[in-house]
Structure 1
Amino acid sequence: MLDGERRPTTGTAGGDGSCEDEDTSARMPMSEEEKLDQVRRLEELMRVKQAERRERERAEELEREKQRRRQGQELQHIRQKLQDDDMKKLTDQRMKEKMEDKMARQRVKDKIARDREERAQKGQDFTLLSPYPRHVYTELDMEKPLKELGLVPSGVLVVAKK
Protein backbone atom coordinates (compact mmCIF):
# COMPACT_ATOMS: atom_id res chain seq x y z
CA MET A 1 0.00 0.00 0.00
CA LEU A 2 0.98 3.58 -0.50
CA ASP A 3 1.62 5.97 2.35
CA GLY A 4 -1.56 8.02 1.83
CA GLU A 5 -3.92 5.04 1.57
CA ARG A 6 -5.74 3.55 4.52
CA ARG A 7 -6.16 -0.11 4.89
CA PRO A 8 -9.65 -1.35 5.61
CA THR A 9 -9.95 -2.92 9.00
CA THR A 10 -11.85 -6.07 9.58
CA GLY A 11 -11.75 -5.98 13.32
CA THR A 12 -9.23 -8.81 13.60
CA ALA A 13 -5.82 -8.57 15.12
CA GLY A 14 -4.09 -9.14 11.81
CA GLY A 15 -3.51 -5.44 10.90
CA ASP A 16 -1.17 -2.81 12.27
CA GLY A 17 -3.61 -2.14 15.10
CA SER A 18 -3.72 1.66 14.93
CA CYS A 19 -7.08 1.94 13.21
CA GLU A 20 -8.56 -0.75 15.34
CA ASP A 21 -7.58 1.03 18.54
CA GLU A 22 -9.19 4.26 17.34
CA ASP A 23 -12.41 2.50 16.44
CA THR A 24 -12.67 0.71 19.73
CA SER A 25 -11.82 3.83 21.76
CA ALA A 26 -14.63 5.72 20.08
CA ARG A 27 -17.05 2.99 21.08
CA MET A 28 -15.83 2.59 24.61
CA PRO A 29 -17.74 4.43 27.32
CA MET A 30 -15.95 7.47 28.77
CA SER A 31 -14.66 7.53 32.26
CA GLU A 32 -15.97 10.08 34.77
CA GLU A 33 -12.84 12.17 34.42
CA GLU A 34 -13.16 12.21 30.64
CA LYS A 35 -16.83 13.15 30.95
CA LEU A 36 -16.01 16.03 33.31
CA ASP A 37 -13.21 17.14 31.03
CA GLN A 38 -15.52 17.07 28.04
CA VAL A 39 -18.22 18.97 30.00
CA ARG A 40 -15.63 21.60 30.97
CA ARG A 41 -14.51 21.91 27.36
CA LEU A 42 -18.10 22.24 26.17
CA GLU A 43 -18.92 24.79 28.88
CA GLU A 44 -15.80 26.77 27.97
CA LEU A 45 -16.77 26.58 24.31
CA MET A 46 -20.28 27.82 25.21
CA ARG A 47 -18.82 30.71 27.24
CA VAL A 48 -16.54 31.64 24.35
CA LYS A 49 -19.42 31.45 21.86
CA GLN A 50 -21.66 33.51 24.17
CA ALA A 51 -18.90 36.09 24.64
CA GLU A 52 -18.39 36.24 20.88
CA ARG A 53 -22.14 36.61 20.36
CA ARG A 54 -22.36 39.36 23.00
CA GLU A 55 -19.39 41.14 21.43
CA ARG A 56 -20.91 40.80 17.96
CA GLU A 57 -24.29 42.08 19.23
CA ARG A 58 -22.60 44.99 20.98
CA ALA A 59 -20.69 45.86 17.79
CA GLU A 60 -23.91 45.62 15.78
CA GLU A 61 -25.69 47.83 18.32
CA LEU A 62 -22.88 50.38 18.10
CA GLU A 63 -23.10 50.31 14.32
CA ARG A 64 -26.89 50.75 14.45
CA GLU A 65 -26.44 53.68 16.85
CA LYS A 66 -23.86 55.27 14.55
CA GLN A 67 -26.20 54.77 11.60
CA ARG A 68 -29.11 56.27 13.55
CA ARG A 69 -27.02 59.30 14.51
CA ARG A 70 -25.75 59.70 10.96
CA GLN A 71 -29.31 59.59 9.62
CA GLY A 72 -30.41 62.06 12.30
CA GLN A 73 -27.65 64.45 11.29
CA GLU A 74 -28.52 64.07 7.62
CA LEU A 75 -32.17 64.73 8.41
CA GLN A 76 -31.20 67.78 10.45
CA HIS A 77 -29.05 69.06 7.57
CA ILE A 78 -31.92 68.55 5.15
CA ARG A 79 -34.34 70.37 7.46
CA GLN A 80 -31.86 73.22 7.90
CA LYS A 81 -31.38 73.47 4.14
CA LEU A 82 -35.14 73.56 3.59
CA GLN A 83 -35.50 76.23 6.26
CA ASP A 84 -32.66 78.25 4.71
CA ASP A 85 -34.27 77.91 1.28
CA ASP A 86 -37.62 79.07 2.68
CA MET A 87 -35.96 82.05 4.36
CA LYS A 88 -34.17 82.92 1.12
CA LYS A 89 -37.44 82.70 -0.82
CA LEU A 90 -39.16 84.96 1.72
CA THR A 91 -36.28 87.42 1.60
CA ASP A 92 -36.29 87.42 -2.20
CA GLN A 93 -40.05 87.89 -2.23
CA ARG A 94 -39.83 90.82 0.20
CA MET A 95 -37.07 92.41 -1.86
CA LYS A 96 -39.14 91.95 -5.02
CA GLU A 97 -42.20 93.49 -3.35
CA LYS A 98 -40.13 96.42 -2.09
CA MET A 99 -38.69 96.93 -5.58
CA GLU A 100 -42.17 96.79 -7.11
CA ASP A 101 -43.45 99.29 -4.52
CA LYS A 102 -40.50 101.56 -5.20
CA MET A 103 -41.10 101.35 -8.94
CA ALA A 104 -44.82 102.05 -8.46
CA ARG A 105 -44.03 105.09 -6.30
CA GLN A 106 -41.57 106.30 -8.95
CA ARG A 107 -44.20 105.87 -11.68
CA VAL A 108 -46.66 107.91 -9.60
CA LYS A 109 -44.04 110.60 -9.01
CA ASP A 110 -43.21 110.67 -12.71
CA LYS A 111 -46.90 110.98 -13.60
CA ILE A 112 -47.34 113.81 -11.11
CA ALA A 113 -44.30 115.57 -12.57
CA ARG A 114 -45.66 115.13 -16.12
CA ASP A 115 -49.07 116.43 -15.05
CA ARG A 116 -47.46 119.46 -13.43
CA GLU A 117 -45.41 120.08 -16.53
CA GLU A 118 -48.49 119.78 -18.73
CA ARG A 119 -50.36 122.20 -16.50
CA ALA A 120 -47.41 124.56 -16.58
CA GLN A 121 -47.29 124.28 -20.37
CA LYS A 122 -50.98 125.02 -20.57
CA GLY A 123 -50.49 127.88 -18.18
CA GLN A 124 -47.75 129.34 -20.36
CA ASP A 125 -49.89 129.28 -23.47
CA PHE A 126 -51.43 132.67 -22.82
CA THR A 127 -50.99 136.28 -23.74
CA LEU A 128 -51.46 139.36 -21.65
CA LEU A 129 -53.27 142.28 -23.17
CA SER A 130 -54.94 145.45 -22.08
CA PRO A 131 -58.29 146.25 -23.69
CA TYR A 132 -57.96 150.02 -23.68
CA PRO A 133 -55.72 151.20 -25.19
CA ARG A 134 -55.44 147.87 -26.91
CA HIS A 135 -51.97 146.51 -26.37
CA VAL A 136 -50.62 142.93 -26.49
CA TYR A 137 -47.71 142.42 -24.16
CA THR A 138 -44.70 140.32 -25.25
CA GLU A 139 -42.01 138.45 -23.34
CA LEU A 140 -39.87 141.57 -23.39
CA ASP A 141 -42.66 143.49 -21.67
CA MET A 142 -42.64 140.96 -18.83
CA GLU A 143 -39.27 142.29 -17.71
CA LYS A 144 -40.35 145.94 -17.57
CA PRO A 145 -41.82 147.62 -14.47
CA LEU A 146 -45.60 148.20 -14.39
CA LYS A 147 -45.14 152.01 -14.32
CA GLU A 148 -43.22 151.93 -17.57
CA LEU A 149 -46.00 149.89 -19.17
CA GLY A 150 -48.59 152.47 -18.06
CA LEU A 151 -50.37 150.13 -15.69
CA VAL A 152 -49.86 152.28 -12.56
CA PRO A 153 -51.86 153.63 -10.61
CA SER A 154 -54.53 151.39 -12.17
CA GLY A 155 -54.63 149.03 -15.06
CA VAL A 156 -56.63 146.23 -16.54
CA LEU A 157 -54.98 143.11 -17.87
CA VAL A 158 -56.70 140.31 -19.74
CA VAL A 159 -55.24 136.84 -19.89
CA ALA A 160 -56.12 135.15 -23.15
CA LYS A 161 -55.18 131.76 -24.55
CA LYS A 162 -52.94 131.80 -27.56
Structure 2
Amino acid sequence: MSSKSDRDTLIDMGFPPDKVDRALKAVKNAGLQPAMDWLFSHPGDSDEPEGGATLGEKPIGEEISETSSSLKNTEEGEIRAEDQTAQSLVCEDCQKLFRDASTAERHAIKSGHVNFSESTTVIKPLTEEEKAAKKEELKRVLAEKREMRLMQEKEEEKSREKIRRKTGQELSEVKAKLEEKEMQKALIAKKKEKEEERLAKAKIKAQIEADKKERAAKREAAKQATLQHQQEIAIAEAAAAANVSKEYSEARLQIRQPSGSPITHTFQSTDTLQVVYDHVSQHVSEPFNLMTTFPRKMFGDSEMEKTLKELDLVPSAVLVVSLP
Protein backbone atom coordinates (compact mmCIF):
# COMPACT_ATOMS: atom_id res chain seq x y z
CA MET A 1 0.00 0.00 0.00
CA SER A 2 1.18 3.51 -0.78
CA SER A 3 0.64 6.83 0.83
CA LYS A 4 -0.25 8.77 -2.34
CA SER A 5 -2.54 11.77 -2.24
CA ASP A 6 -5.98 11.73 -3.87
CA ARG A 7 -4.61 13.83 -6.75
CA ASP A 8 -1.73 11.42 -7.44
CA THR A 9 -4.10 8.44 -7.25
CA LEU A 10 -6.50 9.93 -9.82
CA ILE A 11 -3.67 10.92 -12.15
CA ASP A 12 -2.18 7.41 -11.92
CA MET A 13 -5.60 6.05 -12.89
CA GLY A 14 -5.39 7.95 -16.21
CA PHE A 15 -7.15 11.25 -15.54
CA PRO A 16 -5.46 14.46 -16.78
CA PRO A 17 -3.88 16.60 -14.06
CA ASP A 18 -5.91 19.70 -15.04
CA LYS A 19 -9.15 17.76 -14.95
CA VAL A 20 -8.19 16.21 -11.61
CA ASP A 21 -7.47 19.65 -10.18
CA ARG A 22 -10.88 20.90 -11.35
CA ALA A 23 -12.59 17.85 -9.87
CA LEU A 24 -10.92 18.21 -6.48
CA LYS A 25 -11.70 21.92 -6.46
CA ALA A 26 -15.34 21.26 -7.42
CA VAL A 27 -15.86 18.79 -4.54
CA LYS A 28 -13.75 20.99 -2.16
CA ASN A 29 -11.25 18.17 -1.60
CA ALA A 30 -14.00 16.00 -0.05
CA GLY A 31 -12.13 12.79 -0.94
CA LEU A 32 -11.29 10.31 -3.64
CA GLN A 33 -14.82 8.96 -4.27
CA PRO A 34 -16.56 12.37 -4.72
CA ALA A 35 -13.78 13.49 -7.10
CA MET A 36 -14.14 10.26 -9.09
CA ASP A 37 -17.91 10.71 -9.34
CA TRP A 38 -17.42 14.27 -10.61
CA LEU A 39 -14.94 13.13 -13.26
CA PHE A 40 -17.36 10.50 -14.61
CA SER A 41 -20.26 12.93 -14.61
CA HIS A 42 -18.30 15.70 -16.44
CA PRO A 43 -16.73 14.22 -19.56
CA GLY A 44 -15.19 16.74 -21.95
CA ASP A 45 -12.88 17.17 -24.93
CA SER A 46 -10.07 18.41 -22.77
CA ASP A 47 -9.98 15.17 -20.72
CA GLU A 48 -7.20 12.71 -21.42
CA PRO A 49 -5.48 9.94 -19.42
CA GLU A 50 -2.16 10.54 -17.80
CA GLY A 51 -0.91 7.00 -17.82
CA GLY A 52 -1.30 6.70 -21.59
CA ALA A 53 -2.12 3.58 -23.61
CA THR A 54 -0.04 1.00 -25.42
CA LEU A 55 0.00 1.14 -29.20
CA GLY A 56 -2.30 -1.39 -30.77
CA GLU A 57 -4.66 -1.31 -27.73
CA LYS A 58 -7.70 0.82 -27.04
CA PRO A 59 -6.43 4.07 -25.41
CA ILE A 60 -7.78 5.11 -22.02
CA GLY A 61 -9.21 8.65 -21.70
CA GLU A 62 -12.32 10.75 -21.87
CA GLU A 63 -14.30 11.78 -24.89
CA ILE A 64 -12.42 13.86 -27.44
CA SER A 65 -14.22 15.83 -30.12
CA GLU A 66 -13.22 14.60 -33.46
CA THR A 67 -13.08 16.91 -36.42
CA SER A 68 -15.44 16.37 -39.31
CA SER A 69 -12.54 15.43 -41.52
CA SER A 70 -11.37 12.67 -39.18
CA LEU A 71 -14.96 11.33 -38.99
CA LYS A 72 -15.13 11.21 -42.76
CA ASN A 73 -11.77 9.50 -42.95
CA THR A 74 -12.92 6.93 -40.37
CA GLU A 75 -16.11 6.29 -42.31
CA GLU A 76 -14.18 5.88 -45.51
CA GLY A 77 -11.95 3.36 -43.65
CA GLU A 78 -8.64 4.73 -44.71
CA ILE A 79 -6.70 7.88 -44.05
CA ARG A 80 -3.60 8.82 -45.87
CA ALA A 81 -0.59 9.47 -43.68
CA GLU A 82 0.28 12.65 -45.45
CA ASP A 83 -3.22 14.10 -44.69
CA GLN A 84 -3.06 13.22 -40.94
CA THR A 85 -1.88 15.59 -38.22
CA ALA A 86 -0.21 14.69 -34.86
CA GLN A 87 -2.95 13.68 -32.40
CA SER A 88 -0.76 12.43 -29.53
CA LEU A 89 2.77 11.65 -28.33
CA VAL A 90 4.26 8.18 -28.16
CA CYS A 91 7.03 6.91 -25.87
CA GLU A 92 9.48 5.01 -28.06
CA ASP A 93 10.77 3.14 -25.00
CA CYS A 94 7.47 1.62 -23.82
CA GLN A 95 5.07 2.47 -26.71
CA LYS A 96 2.58 4.35 -24.53
CA LEU A 97 0.50 7.19 -25.97
CA PHE A 98 0.04 10.60 -24.35
CA ARG A 99 -2.38 13.40 -25.15
CA ASP A 100 -0.02 16.32 -24.66
CA ALA A 101 3.50 17.27 -23.61
CA SER A 102 2.58 17.71 -19.92
CA THR A 103 1.42 14.12 -19.54
CA ALA A 104 4.43 12.87 -21.50
CA GLU A 105 6.70 14.91 -19.27
CA ARG A 106 5.08 13.42 -16.16
CA HIS A 107 5.61 9.93 -17.61
CA ALA A 108 9.26 10.76 -18.30
CA ILE A 109 9.74 11.89 -14.67
CA LYS A 110 8.18 8.68 -13.32
CA SER A 111 9.71 6.17 -15.75
CA GLY A 112 12.96 7.84 -16.75
CA HIS A 113 12.11 7.41 -20.45
CA VAL A 114 13.38 10.18 -22.76
CA ASN A 115 12.52 9.06 -26.30
CA PHE A 116 9.17 10.56 -27.43
CA SER A 117 7.74 11.23 -30.91
CA GLU A 118 4.50 12.53 -32.42
CA SER A 119 1.72 10.09 -33.30
CA THR A 120 -1.42 10.36 -35.42
CA THR A 121 -3.28 7.93 -33.16
CA VAL A 122 -6.31 9.53 -31.55
CA ILE A 123 -6.87 8.73 -27.91
CA LYS A 124 -10.50 7.68 -27.76
CA PRO A 125 -12.87 8.29 -24.84
CA LEU A 126 -13.46 5.65 -22.16
CA THR A 127 -15.97 2.93 -22.87
CA GLU A 128 -18.56 1.89 -20.28
CA GLU A 129 -16.47 -1.19 -19.49
CA GLU A 130 -13.38 0.97 -18.97
CA LYS A 131 -15.35 3.35 -16.76
CA ALA A 132 -16.57 0.38 -14.72
CA ALA A 133 -13.01 -0.91 -14.50
CA LYS A 134 -11.82 2.51 -13.29
CA LYS A 135 -14.56 2.53 -10.67
CA GLU A 136 -13.47 -0.91 -9.48
CA GLU A 137 -9.89 0.32 -9.40
CA LEU A 138 -11.05 3.31 -7.38
CA LYS A 139 -12.87 1.03 -4.95
CA ARG A 140 -9.74 -1.07 -4.61
CA VAL A 141 -7.61 2.01 -3.95
CA LEU A 142 -10.15 3.31 -1.42
CA ALA A 143 -10.23 -0.08 0.29
CA GLU A 144 -6.44 -0.13 0.41
CA LYS A 145 -6.41 3.38 1.88
CA ARG A 146 -8.99 2.39 4.48
CA GLU A 147 -7.02 -0.73 5.32
CA MET A 148 -3.83 1.30 5.57
CA ARG A 149 -5.59 3.85 7.78
CA LEU A 150 -6.98 1.11 10.00
CA MET A 151 -3.54 -0.49 10.28
CA GLN A 152 -2.00 2.87 11.10
CA GLU A 153 -4.69 3.48 13.73
CA LYS A 154 -4.07 0.02 15.19
CA GLU A 155 -0.33 0.66 15.30
CA GLU A 156 -0.92 4.05 16.91
CA GLU A 157 -3.30 2.46 19.42
CA LYS A 158 -0.70 -0.20 20.19
CA SER A 159 1.91 2.50 20.65
CA ARG A 160 -0.41 4.49 22.92
CA GLU A 161 -1.25 1.34 24.86
CA LYS A 162 2.46 0.60 25.32
CA ILE A 163 2.99 4.14 26.55
CA ARG A 164 0.01 3.82 28.92
CA ARG A 165 1.28 0.51 30.24
CA LYS A 166 4.78 1.84 30.66
CA THR A 167 3.47 4.95 32.39
CA GLY A 168 1.22 2.81 34.60
CA GLN A 169 4.13 0.52 35.44
CA GLU A 170 6.35 3.49 36.28
CA LEU A 171 3.62 4.98 38.45
CA SER A 172 3.16 1.63 40.19
CA GLU A 173 6.90 1.39 40.83
CA VAL A 174 6.99 4.94 42.21
CA LYS A 175 3.97 4.18 44.40
CA ALA A 176 5.56 0.93 45.63
CA LYS A 177 8.80 2.76 46.48
CA LEU A 178 6.88 5.46 48.36
CA GLU A 179 4.92 2.81 50.25
CA GLU A 180 8.16 0.98 51.08
CA LYS A 181 9.71 4.20 52.39
CA GLU A 182 6.61 4.93 54.46
CA MET A 183 6.69 1.40 55.83
CA GLN A 184 10.36 1.76 56.75
CA LYS A 185 9.60 5.04 58.49
CA ALA A 186 6.73 3.39 60.37
CA LEU A 187 8.96 0.47 61.40
CA ILE A 188 11.68 2.85 62.61
CA ALA A 189 9.11 4.89 64.55
CA LYS A 190 7.63 1.71 66.06
CA LYS A 191 11.06 0.45 67.03
CA LYS A 192 11.89 3.79 68.62
CA GLU A 193 8.58 3.79 70.47
CA LYS A 194 9.24 0.27 71.80
CA GLU A 195 12.74 1.26 72.93
CA GLU A 196 11.40 4.33 74.73
CA GLU A 197 8.72 2.17 76.35
CA ARG A 198 11.35 -0.36 77.45
CA LEU A 199 13.53 2.37 78.96
CA ALA A 200 10.53 3.90 80.73
CA LYS A 201 9.57 0.50 82.19
CA ALA A 202 13.16 -0.12 83.28
CA LYS A 203 13.24 3.30 84.95
CA ILE A 204 9.96 2.63 86.75
CA LYS A 205 11.17 -0.81 87.84
CA ALA A 206 14.43 0.66 89.16
CA GLN A 207 12.46 3.33 91.03
CA ILE A 208 10.22 0.64 92.54
CA GLU A 209 13.26 -1.37 93.66
CA ALA A 210 14.82 1.75 95.17
CA ASP A 211 11.58 2.53 97.00
CA LYS A 212 11.42 -1.03 98.30
CA LYS A 213 14.99 -0.82 99.61
CA GLU A 214 14.32 2.55 101.18
CA ARG A 215 11.16 1.27 102.90
CA ALA A 216 13.02 -1.84 104.08
CA ALA A 217 15.83 0.31 105.49
CA LYS A 218 13.31 2.54 107.26
CA ARG A 219 11.53 -0.48 108.72
CA GLU A 220 14.83 -1.94 109.90
CA ALA A 221 15.87 1.39 111.44
CA ALA A 222 12.48 1.71 113.16
CA LYS A 223 12.78 -1.86 114.41
CA GLN A 224 16.26 -1.21 115.81
CA ALA A 225 15.11 2.01 117.45
CA THR A 226 12.15 0.23 119.02
CA LEU A 227 14.32 -2.59 120.26
CA GLN A 228 16.82 -0.15 121.67
CA HIS A 229 14.10 1.82 123.38
CA GLN A 230 12.70 -1.34 124.91
CA GLN A 231 16.13 -2.25 126.24
CA GLU A 232 16.54 1.18 127.77
CA ILE A 233 13.13 0.93 129.44
CA ALA A 234 13.98 -2.51 130.78
CA ILE A 235 17.25 -1.23 132.23
CA ALA A 236 15.52 1.76 133.75
CA GLU A 237 12.75 -0.36 135.22
CA ALA A 238 15.28 -2.81 136.61
CA ALA A 239 17.18 0.02 138.23
CA ALA A 240 14.01 1.49 139.65
CA ALA A 241 12.88 -1.84 141.01
CA ALA A 242 16.18 -2.51 142.77
CA ASN A 243 16.48 -1.91 146.49
CA VAL A 244 17.68 1.63 146.87
CA SER A 245 19.19 0.80 150.16
CA LYS A 246 21.36 -1.84 148.55
CA GLU A 247 24.89 -0.78 148.11
CA TYR A 248 26.61 -1.43 144.78
CA SER A 249 30.35 -1.16 144.39
CA GLU A 250 30.34 -1.44 140.59
CA ALA A 251 28.57 0.17 137.64
CA ARG A 252 28.22 -1.65 134.30
CA LEU A 253 27.87 0.90 131.52
CA GLN A 254 26.98 0.43 127.88
CA ILE A 255 28.24 3.35 125.81
CA ARG A 256 26.88 3.70 122.25
CA GLN A 257 29.00 5.31 119.55
CA PRO A 258 27.73 7.20 116.48
CA SER A 259 29.22 4.39 114.41
CA GLY A 260 30.54 0.99 115.28
CA SER A 261 29.59 -1.41 118.04
CA PRO A 262 28.71 -0.20 121.61
CA ILE A 263 31.44 0.04 124.31
CA THR A 264 30.62 -2.06 127.36
CA HIS A 265 32.75 -1.66 130.53
CA THR A 266 32.42 -2.13 134.29
CA PHE A 267 33.50 0.83 136.43
CA GLN A 268 33.67 1.33 140.21
CA SER A 269 30.72 3.13 141.67
CA THR A 270 33.14 5.63 143.16
CA ASP A 271 34.72 6.42 139.76
CA THR A 272 33.92 9.86 138.46
CA LEU A 273 32.36 10.61 135.09
CA GLN A 274 35.76 11.88 134.01
CA VAL A 275 37.11 8.34 134.26
CA VAL A 276 34.34 7.15 131.93
CA TYR A 277 35.05 10.06 129.52
CA ASP A 278 38.75 9.15 129.46
CA HIS A 279 37.91 5.51 128.72
CA VAL A 280 35.66 6.46 125.85
CA SER A 281 38.32 8.83 124.46
CA GLN A 282 40.39 5.78 123.66
CA HIS A 283 37.76 4.77 121.09
CA VAL A 284 36.56 8.15 119.83
CA SER A 285 39.16 10.42 118.23
CA GLU A 286 37.14 13.66 118.13
CA PRO A 287 35.55 15.80 120.89
CA PHE A 288 32.25 14.46 122.23
CA ASN A 289 29.74 14.67 125.09
CA LEU A 290 28.07 11.95 127.12
CA MET A 291 24.31 11.75 127.65
CA THR A 292 21.71 9.38 129.02
CA THR A 293 18.81 8.12 126.88
CA PHE A 294 16.10 7.68 129.48
CA PRO A 295 15.57 10.09 130.94
CA ARG A 296 17.44 12.15 128.37
CA LYS A 297 20.21 14.20 129.98
CA MET A 298 23.38 15.77 128.67
CA PHE A 299 26.37 15.81 131.05
CA GLY A 300 28.44 18.97 131.19
CA ASP A 301 31.74 19.95 132.80
CA SER A 302 30.06 20.32 136.23
CA GLU A 303 29.23 16.59 136.33
CA MET A 304 32.74 15.40 135.38
CA GLU A 305 33.90 15.24 139.00
CA LYS A 306 30.83 13.52 140.34
CA THR A 307 30.87 9.79 140.97
CA LEU A 308 28.80 7.34 139.04
CA LYS A 309 26.82 6.66 142.18
CA GLU A 310 26.06 10.33 142.60
CA LEU A 311 24.92 10.45 138.96
CA ASP A 312 22.59 7.42 139.48
CA LEU A 313 24.54 5.31 136.99
CA VAL A 314 24.92 2.40 139.46
CA PRO A 315 24.57 -0.57 139.12
CA SER A 316 24.11 -0.18 135.27
CA ALA A 317 23.21 2.41 132.71
CA VAL A 318 23.28 3.25 129.01
CA LEU A 319 25.23 6.28 127.81
CA VAL A 320 25.37 7.75 124.32
CA VAL A 321 28.33 9.46 122.74
CA SER A 322 27.08 12.76 121.27
CA LEU A 323 29.25 14.63 118.79
CA PRO A 324 28.99 18.41 118.94
- The reply to whether TM is greater than 0.5 is yes
Distance 1:19 1:108 in 2: 121
Query: In the alignment, which residue of structure 2 is the partner of 1:80?
Result: 191
Amino acid at match of 2:198: M
Amino acid at match of 1:74: K
The 1:27–1:95 alpha-carbon spacing in structure 2 relative to 1, beyond 3 Å, is farther
How far is 1:98 from its partner?
Answer: 0.1
Task: Say which of 161, 174, 179 aligns to 1:63.
Answer: 174
1:127 touches 1:160 (CA, 8 Å); kept in 2? yes
2:239 touches 2:315 (CA, 8 Å); kept in 1? yes
**Bigger fraction of residues in helix:** 1
Distance 1:73 1:101 in 2: 42
- For the pair 1:100 / 2:107, whether they are aligned, the reply is no
Deviates more, 1:113-122 or 1:54-63: 113-122
How far is 1:81 from its partner?
Answer: 3.4
Query: Aligned pair count?
Result: 133
Query: In the alignment, which residue of structure 2 is the partner of 1:144?
Result: 268
| Cα offsets for 1:75-112 (capped at 9, x unmatched) | 32343234224313321231122012111111112112
Distance 2:315 2:162 in 1: 116
Distance 1:91 1:64 in 2: 40
Q: TM-score, normalised by structure 2?
A: 0.33
2:250 touches 2:315 (CA, 8 Å); kept in 1? no
Task: Say which of 119, 122, 143 aligns to 2:230.
Answer: 119
**Bigger fraction of residues in strand:** 2
Query: In the alignment, which residue of structure 1 is the partner of 2:30?
Result: 23
SS of 1:110's equivalent? helix
- 1 or 2 for the larger relative contact order (CA 8 Å, sep ≥6)? 1
- For the pair 1:40 / 2:164, whether they are aligned, the reply is no
Q: TM-score, normalised by structure 1?
A: 0.58
Query: In the alignment, which residue of structure 2 is the partner of 1:89?
Result: 200
| Cα offsets for 1:23-66 (capped at 9, x unmatched) | 24485665344334323321221121011111111012112312
1:127 touches 1:137 (CA, 8 Å); kept in 2? no
Q: Which has the larger radius of gyration?
A: 2
The 1:96–1:136 alpha-carbon spacing in structure 2 relative to 1, beyond 3 Å, is same
Unaligned runs of 5+ in 1: 1-14, 146-157
Amino acid at match of 1:94: K
Unaligned runs of 5+ in 2: 1-21, 36-138, 253-265, 270-313, 318-324
SS of 1:22's equivalent? coil
Distance 1:89 1:27 in 2: 90
